[in-house]
Chains A and B, each alone.
Chain A
Amino acid sequence: MHSFINFIMGPMVWISFLIFFIGVIFRLIGLFKQINAKENFVYTYLSFKYSFRSIFAWLIPFLPVSTRKSPVFYSISYVFHLLLFLIPIFLLSHVALLEESMHWSWVTLSDSTADSLTLIVIFSLIFFFIRRFVVPEVKFLTRLSDFLFILIVALPFVTGFLAYHQFFAYRWMVIVHVLSGELMIILIPFTRFFHMFLAPLTRAYTGSEFGNVRHAKDW
């Protein structure tokens, strides 16, 4: 058991990040090959200025009109995406492990803060889950995989929360926590989690067309 735990908390972390980075590079190379083959006219109007104007505009809460039309969904979505990165990166336990193995360290959240924030993430995921049943236009587009992706994101947060409180089956809770976290990292380049990289590119594409061709705002 000790060597298994040592493997998933040691080498497997680096293997996951390696697969993540290689996957991202291959996906991006593939993407640009496709653009060059099918849509290389975008380069005629693609601009840094309008790309970043669009990216930043869409990062400001409630600046885009469509976000103001469904304020509840966008508020929850905004906070959820922020916490999805904030909690794991600044979690004391994670930073302590990194410090012990790599001598890297940075500021951390207090455990009680991280605990409350994790509950917000879990409730956001429950909201996204229910939304797929309740909102007709979302329900129409929902497939089984949508729930699967909610589950994959939920697993590391739910098991992390349960492990922190040491409610039951502590060791297994940590093992599932570690493995599900690594699964999520590995899956990013190969699933719709890749919107993490595609979203800014979509904004650059749309922002450049609106700014450079139509001379209009795209938010």
Chain B
Amino acid sequence: MMKLKRFIFITIVILMITAFYSYSQEEFPMVDNLIFDHPQRPAAVFDHDDHNEKAGVEEDCSICHHVYEGKELIKDESSEDSLCSECHSLKTTPENGISLRMAFHNRCKSCHFKSNNGPVLCGECHIK
């Protein structure tokens, strides 16, 4: 009888652990990094809606999806219909001095540092 009880107990524990792991291994949404030829790190973890809700930036898309003309930021205009890579190329160009990698990194980190919140170190976004 004791052996049967122990067997059932252990089975339940194993099932719970498996359930926990299969649930926690659910894919995190990530930034689309297909444009990079040989990405050195896993794509950055980023859940757009979840992030904006937590950060309280749902109202103003132009915080991230900005529009620049030359070096001038155009206020009240946003660019959420275009990809970051449409302006920020892989390598810096005379028209745009901020490469795509740099645009991603600085866009995220500058806000996170200012707000004392969110990931700021390499492996906090590029999770292996």
Q: Which residues of B contact A187 (CB under 8 A)?
A: none
A214 at the interface (CB under 8 A from B): no
Q: Report the Cα distance A103→B106, complex, angstroms.
A: 12
Q: Which residues of A contact B105 (CB under 8 A)?
A: 96, 100
Q: Which residues of A contact B97 (CB under 8 A)?
A: 103
Given contacts A2-B113, A166-B128, A171 and B121 within 8 Å (CB-CB): yes
A/B pair count, beta carbons within 8 Å: 43
Chain B, range 81-128, C-beta contacts under 8 Å to A: 97, 99, 101-102, 105-106, 109, 112-113, 116-117, 120-124, 127-128
| Cβ contact of A3, chosen from B40, B101, B116, B122, cutoff 8 A | B116
| Cβ contact of A92, chosen from B40, B112, B116, B127, cutoff 8 A | B40
| Size bin of chain A's contact surface | 20 to 34
Closest to A167 in B: B128
Q: Report the Cα distance A100→B105, complex, angstroms.
A: 8
Q: Which residues of A contact B113 (CB under 8 A)?
A: 2-3, 6
Question: Number of B residues whose C-beta is below 8 Å from A?
Answer: 21
Q: Which residues of B contact A96 (CB under 8 A)?
A: 101-102, 105
B41 at the interface (CB under 8 A from A): yes
Q: Are A110 and B124 in contact (CB under 8 A)?
A: no
Given contacts A96-B105, A110-B40, A111-B41, A2 and B123 within 8 Å (CB-CB): no
Q: Report the Cα distance A99→B91, complex, angstroms.
A: 12
Chain A, range 1-19, C-beta contacts under 8 Å to B: 1-3, 5-6
Q: Report the Cα distance A163→B126, complex, angstroms.
A: 12
Minimum distance in angstroms from B75 CB to a CB of chain A: 25
| Dominant secondary structure at the A interface | helix
| Cβ contact of B123, chosen from A5, A110, A174, cutoff 8 A | A174
Q: Are A93 and B122 in contact (CB under 8 A)?
A: yes
Closest to B101 in A: A96
* Chain B residues engaging chain A, CB cutoff 8 angstroms: 38, 40-41, 97, 99, 101-102, 105-106, 109, 112-113, 116-117, 120-124, 127-128
Beyond contacts A165-B128, A166-B128: 20 other A-B pairs, Cβ-Cβ < 8 A, are: A1-B116, A2-B113, A2-B120, A3-B113, A3-B116, A5-B120, A6-B120, A96-B101, A96-B102, A96-B105, A99-B99, A100-B106, A103-B97, A110-B38, A163-B122, A164-B123, A166-B123, A166-B127, A170-B121, A174-B121
Name 21 A/B residue pairs within 8 A (Cβ), A-sorted.
A2-B113, A5-B120, A6-B113, A96-B102, A96-B105, A99-B99, A100-B102, A100-B105, A100-B106, A110-B38, A110-B40, A111-B41, A164-B123, A165-B128, A166-B127, A166-B128, A170-B121, A170-B123, A171-B121, A174-B121, A174-B122
* Chain A residues engaging chain B, CB cutoff 8 angstroms: 1-3, 5-6, 92-93, 96, 99-100, 103, 110-111, 163-166, 170-171, 174
What are the 9 closest A-B residue pairs judged by CB atoms, nearest first? A2-B116, A111-B40, A166-B123, A166-B128, A174-B121, A170-B123, A6-B113, A100-B102, A100-B105
